[in-house]
Structure 1
């Protein structure tokens, strides 16, 4: 059997986090292998495609920007609507992932598609991969897990599964140009919310739900689409569909178990209330690539500890608040309190109550 190919850095996953990590490490002269199980980077898209930080440079990458967003309309259970300034970008997520991966390749990273991680030894960095040509073994001094909420890299490192909610989204024709996002807070979407994100001539309409509180996503999504069609915002004509899991339990207790760095969804950096995860993936991925390069220059494990500290400094306060608000809402799902506007105002980022001290959530009343 031939010896395992040796790399400085193995990146698993070529979403925005993995692409950013591979680019940053390769730009520092490191030998980088980045693998992804998909045939084409960025396909299928499992994302609402909203980038809430218009200052990130990635919105200007080729083919990424579709339209600018100026505000947010939030609809409460009572039907009351509150309008907020909430600038951002609607993007083509597939083009974003591909543009970032292209940057990684241009920096010198080796990319392998249709390649799965079968096994990882967290002690030695030896990984068994399965690609179009069969199984191969490689070894790496640093492994970066950018492989989503059910991260095989995190599992190999002995970390527990993350708490998730499930999402379902349909793409429909948009009746007219629309500059805002619509958010729907309702007991019909326990553990999540409904949304309309306009994207040029189409709209992404979907919802998230915690399946501990409600199994059926199809019925509520059909009702939401019907409501939006009645308002004249969309045509009830399916152009595409997607769905997936979003981690909502907050940051993992550790995001660098040894010479393994976790980024984006794999690290639990997704916002537990909104589900926003693209900026955190881009930022944490770039920082992980830089930390890996720093570590490899002199073998100083402090570089990896610094990555953990930087990630927590930047994201932990916001994510922890989201976890707290989610836990408050969990206490009222399935009770009459879930029909009231107050708990939803405390549980959504468009309202000032979200950022204040939380009031005690009403106890759930048995049905």
Structure 2
């Protein structure tokens, strides 16, 4: 049986960051990921907010700067708002974080599946290179996404998610803005165009309990933008995935297990933005694991409280706005700009109007 101080499950931005921090403090770290290549396939619009710029300094990661966001309401009204950020190569972003973890001494295994975990015995069973292995750990960081295997093995309920579908398409003219479409055609979500130099990520997110077919509305939007001269007809890449939209888990720690990133429910329930909180929570989880293993009995409680302080109010408001929108998707109000202004971060109403119970 292999023994490590910290076992990290999932090597996206949260897991890679946790592995780096824990390894930098001379703990033995094993990180595992079910994918053959870290960061691939990309299931992301590939935008990070400007404060995350230090993570995009590598030329392989940086794609282009973004100055603002353009939001289109059901009436066709257009709103431009400051929303600076950076378009990245998400696979290279994740791989750069993983490389830093390796440099600090972490062992990272890809194409590796978590089969079972016993937090009381502090053991896990994994499959790596076709063989089963047992791993003893002192602490475990669960950073394995919205459909967390660790959470399932603990018997925790699944997170509420929306589904996304995205095409990477040729971009006819350079843009320095992200474009958002708010419409009853996309119940439970929205559509987007995120430029990446000569290409763009064109996608949408929807609640499949309200509208199970994502392909038809995305194909329609693609066709409309081809006719408008925005993008080309070709589809260079297709992807999609689940985004958690229910807010922070009631628990983010269970015995020696610490949840981070999407697995903790930290993705913004309205925008779907999750890279920044994944990196930050991963770093905090790594720090909490180090402190707890070195005798700080309050470290895991402090980690949970830190997440609540940093993200709780924002997540709570977003969940409440989603709840408001859920009441109107099949109603005439879904065609009114006012309800979408209350439900989207580009408008003052989102922050200033009272939240309905």
TM range (shorter): over 0.9
Q: Per-residue displacement from partner, 1:186-209 (whole Å, max 9, x unpaired)?
A: 000000000000011100000000
Q: Per-residue displacement from partner, 1:117-165 (whole Å, max 9, x unpaired)?
A: 0000021220000111410000101110000001011222232100000
- Alignment match, 2:61: 64
- Alignment match, 1:198: 195
Task: Answer yes or no: is the 8 Å Cα contact 1:270–1:277 preserved in 2.
Answer: yes
Deviation of the 1:230 alpha carbon = 2.1
The 10-residue stretch of structure 1 (190-199 or 251-260) with the greater mean CA deviation from structure 2: 251-260
Task: Answer yes or no: is the 8 Å Cα contact 2:116–2:125 preserved in 1.
Answer: yes
Task: Answer yes or no: is the 8 Å Cα contact 2:14–2:283 preserved in 1.
Answer: yes
Q: Secondary structure at the match of 1:70?
A: strand
- Alignment match, 1:220: 217
- Alignment match, 1:163: 160
Return the alpha-carbon distance in structure 2 between the equivalents of residues 29 and 77 of structure 1: 54
Return the alpha-carbon distance in structure 1 between the equivalents of residues 127 and 207 of structure 2: 33
In the alignment, does 2:69 pair up with 1:104? no
- Alignment match, 1:338: 334
C-alpha distance 56-305 of structure 1, shift in aligned 2 (>3 A): farther
TM-score by length of 1: 0.95
Return the alpha-carbon distance in structure 2 between the equivalents of residues 45 and 71 of structure 1: 24
- Aligned positions, number: 357
Mark the runs of 5 or more structure 2 residues left unpaired by the alignment: none
Deviation of the 1:344 alpha carbon = 0.3
C-alpha distance 359-18 of structure 1, shift in aligned 2 (>3 A): closer
Return the alpha-carbon distance in structure 1 between the equivalents of residues 208 and 257 of structure 2: 31
Where do residues 71-90 of structure 1 align in structure 2 (5 Å cutoff)? 71-90=68-87
Deviation of the 1:61 alpha carbon = 3.3
- Alignment match, 1:180: 177
Aligned partner of 1:143 among 125, 137, 140: 140
Q: Per-residue displacement from partner, 1:56-88 (whole Å, max 9, x unpaired)?
A: 421213411100000111000111111111100
TM-score by length of 2: 0.98
Task: Answer yes or no: is the 8 Å Cα contact 1:122–1:156 preserved in 2.
Answer: no
| Ranges of 4+ aligned residues in structure 1 off by more than 4 Å | none
Aligned partner of 1:357 among 344, 353, 356: 353
- Alignment match, 2:92: 95
Task: Answer yes or no: is the 8 Å Cα contact 1:71–1:84 preserved in 2.
Answer: yes
Task: Answer yes or no: is the 8 Å Cα contact 2:53–2:86 preserved in 1.
Answer: no
Deviation of the 1:357 alpha carbon = 2.7
Where do residues 243-262 of structure 1 align in structure 2 (5 Å cutoff)? 243-262=240-259
Return the alpha-carbon distance in structure 2 between the equivalents of residues 270 and 333 of structure 1: 22
